């Protein structure tokens, strides 16, 4: 079930909180990944606020688009 032959191989670290605490020893790639991970909740919040504010308008635009598309499709079939 488990591959026990490769005990010496390096595993990719997912949770690196111990390494993130020592900023000076981090590589540039680790610093960039940490910055992205910290900014991701901010991006999610901005998208949430945008969708919360304009969801009704987006919904109306989609409904109008599909209604016009449906009407034009029936005109072309005649």
Domain spans, the chain? 27-77
Work out the pLDDT band at 60, boundaries 50, 70, 90.
Answer: very high
Q: What is the pLDDT of residue 73?
A: 82
- Phi/psi of residue 15, each to 5°? -100, 105
Q: What is the pTM of this model?
A: 0.55
Query: Residue 1 pLDDT more than 60?
Result: no
16, pLDDT greater than 80: no
pLDDT at 33 over 70: yes
Helix (H) or strand (E) holding 69: helix 28-77
């Amino acid at each position: 079930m488990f591959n026990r032959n490769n005990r010496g191989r390096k595993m990719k670290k997912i949770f690196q909180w111990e390494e993130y605490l020592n900023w000076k020893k981090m590589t540039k790639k680790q610093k960039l990944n940490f910055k992205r991970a910290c900014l991701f909740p901010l991006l999610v919040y901005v998208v949430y606020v945008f969708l919360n504010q304009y969801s009704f308008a987006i919904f109306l635009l989609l409904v109008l688009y599909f209604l016009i598309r449906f009407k034009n499709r029936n005109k072309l079939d005649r």
